[in-house]
Amino acid sequence: MIDVEDLVSLVRNYNPNTDADFIRRAYAFGMEMHDGQFRRSGEPYFTHPVAVAAILTEQRLDDASIVTALLHDTVEDTRASYKQVEELFGHDVAELVDGVTKLTNLQLSSSETKQAENFRKLFIAMSKDMRVILVKLADRLHNMRTIKAMRAEKQIQKARETMDIFAPLAGRMGMQWMREELEDLSFRVINPDARNSIMRRFVTLQRETGDVVHKITNDIRSELDNASIRASVYGRAKKPYSIWRKMEEKKISFSRLCDIYGFRIIVENEQDCYKVLGLVHQRWKTVPGRFKDYISQPKSNGYRSIHTTISGRDSRRVEIQIRTQEMHDVAESGVAAHWSYRDGERSQNPFAVAPAKWLSDITERFKNADDHGEFLEHVKLEMYTDKVFTFTPKGEVISLPRGATPLDFAYAIHTRIGNSCVGAKVDGMRVPLWTRLRNGQSVIIINAEGQKPQSSWLGLVATGKAKAAIRKSLREEDRERFMRLGRELVRVAFDHIDKKATDKALETAAKQLSLGSADDLLSRVGSADLNASDVLHALYPELMRNRDEIEPQRAIISPDKKQKHKRAECCQPVPGERIVGITYEGQGVIAHAIDCSVLSAFADEGHRWVDLHWHAGPHAAEYVVSLDVTIANDAGILGRICTLIGEHNANISDLTFPERKEDFYRVMIDVELRDREHLHAVMLALEADSNVARIKRHRESARAPQDGV
């Protein structure tokens, strides 16, 4: 364990003006509080907080962060209290310790709903003081370094949580070295055989080719010396997990893998970055499509560097990064560079992003998320994606996640532009809206008055901002219709228990269900996000507990052809979906999906509504659903699509072509299915096919059937 004077020395190396007594007092207090506690490895527990503090000294953090690291487990695991820490070490440290304690208690790898809520709490803690997450990341890093002492199942749990959450978060904050180490430590636990295999191949490769890193480093230094450019050159083989991920993504073997070595050239100023780039490109052949200039177009976390890939010794591809020392400091520390000290002063790094700006940028996309799933989607989109840089016709740069489409581009400019988008041109050529954008492309958005977002757009966009804007527009458009439908469903449910669905009753139910208003409640009931029975249970729990016999008798949609029930052609409901019936003179009852647009026409005719449900037990594959599929116009693709549907035990009853283009065409496929799960399985399989650009369920905006027809 590092003793207190050694720890103080580590801090003094970058901050000669450190308050050494402050650190000594925290060290002594932490040791006293953790006295008698031991880690699973058998070491005294206090070795862990000291190690976390030492990790933070590598990032040259301030005294408060170091002291927080020493005390971060005292409030949770010892008799120490928040008030005691505040009295001894001040309000700032007490708040940081409290923040780290709360993060430690978050179960980020739990169920999706709870995970989303806990992510909200994590970002709230970060917004109060970013140093909380810096201490937590250092805490997780040391725990991963010493994870072998834990039970096997606990190791797997922690490794997966680290790989899914903490490693991407470190990367999003610009702390790439920490991301790589966390990923590799997790990889060692999750897939040790794969990691060992890569390590063995590295040994074999080095034995066959010699020390490639040393040779290429000398080659680069020689060129720099000849050009009289002062620079430092560092080379290394990439981490095993990085190599494994690339092998998995590209589906190639280790022997076919390129650019497994990376080199950094640290120069004195920005002008030298471009001089070195020219020198490298003159000396070695470049690899097309592998050049990125993050100096002229920095990442949102402040990262600046030039990346290029060349064909070096023995035609082996290597990646070269060129940057200044200040850029390198930000590349190593990311957002943490804001707190870094140098020679006793907070370093004024011009490239370090202020935490407030970074948090504002990362949380802007989350604020419109109305539910847990949507919020979690935003978090993962923000944390797990790389960037592409595209251009407006005026030359302005629009930064988007990899996989973004012209629709994402449109929404990045302005929500109004996105909502009215009808087409796009990329580099002067008209392209479908699902086209994936690439670095350096110029995009022109074509707009039209009266255009509104369509539900199918949700499958075409990759950014949280676009998804949120589309969903908001769809909700607003459907809200009135859903409210009318919800009011009728609630009225019928209340009538069955001899109660009135008054405005006051609905407001009370909304409050009980944690909804903003009665209108929100009605809208959710109408959109099938909430059952009318849930409203009754919220208001009359005791009554409902003993009133099963009062529940309305529901008619059943069954295979019995004698029953006067049939599926609506407009929405084509299938077993497993919520349905409601409307009576028609001469036709009996027609079952509509709960979200069918036709139902709004009957909002004022409650006497015609019938509560329906599907019969229990297995269903035959006899329910026709129309699928609207857009596929590439190439030989054999349609046949493969039909074969894929057949492999899922689904029969095609009809097939038409509503639209044909040179490069793609739309095909309407009527498929006979068993139930909702069967439908989902078929659509998922089609969506996964690389030749399917888009798939959606076709539902007509048809008028309601007429009585007597």
pLDDT digits (tens, 9 = 90+) for 275-293: 999 999 988 888 877 788 8
**Marked catalytic residue, from 19, 43, 58, 77:** 77
- pTM for the structure as a whole: 0.54
| DSSP-derived pairing of the beta strands 261-267 and 317-324 | parallel
Better pLDDT: 50 or 588: 50
Position 259 confidence tier, pLDDT thresholds 50, 70, 90: low
pLDDT attached to residue 138: 92
From the list 116, 152, 589, the residue with the least C-alpha distance to 374 is: 116
Residue 20 pLDDT exceeds 60:
yes
Range in 37-51, 399-413, 463-477, 671-685 with the lowest mean pLDDT: 463-477
**Marked catalytic residue, from 19, 43, 58, 76:** 76
Better pLDDT: 146 or 111: 146
Better pLDDT: 358 or 654: 654
| CB atoms closer than 10 angstroms to residue 588 | 14
| CB atoms closer than 10 angstroms to residue 120 | 18
pLDDT attached to residue 32: 92
Domains of the chain (ranges; CATH) run 4-190 (1.10.3210.10), 193-346 (3.30.460.10), 623-697 (3.30.70.260)
Percent of the chain with pLDDT over 90: 20
Count of H-run helices and E-run strands, the chain: 28, 22
Contact 420, 447 (CB under 8 A): yes
Residue 487 pLDDT exceeds 80:
yes
Residue 559 pLDDT exceeds 50:
no
Report the C-alpha gap between 82 and 47 in whole angstroms. Answer: 22
Task: For residue 16, report the phi and psi dihedrals to the nearest 5 degrees.
Answer: -60, -20
Residue 326 pLDDT exceeds 90:
no
Structural tokens at position 56 = 């933070």
Contact 482, 526 (CB under 8 A): yes
Is 76 annotated as catalytic?
A: yes
User: Mean per-residue pLDDT for 377-392?
Assistant: 63
Is 542 annotated as catalytic?
A: no
Q: What is the mean pLDDT of the chain?
A: 80
Contact 615, 559 (CB under 8 A): yes
Please tell me which of 369-373, 439-443, 506-510, 584-588 the model is most confident about, judged by mean pLDDT: 506-510
Task: For residue 72, report the phi and psi dihedrals to the nearest 5 degrees.
Answer: -65, -20
Report the C-alpha gap between 521 and 507 in whole angstroms. Answer: 8
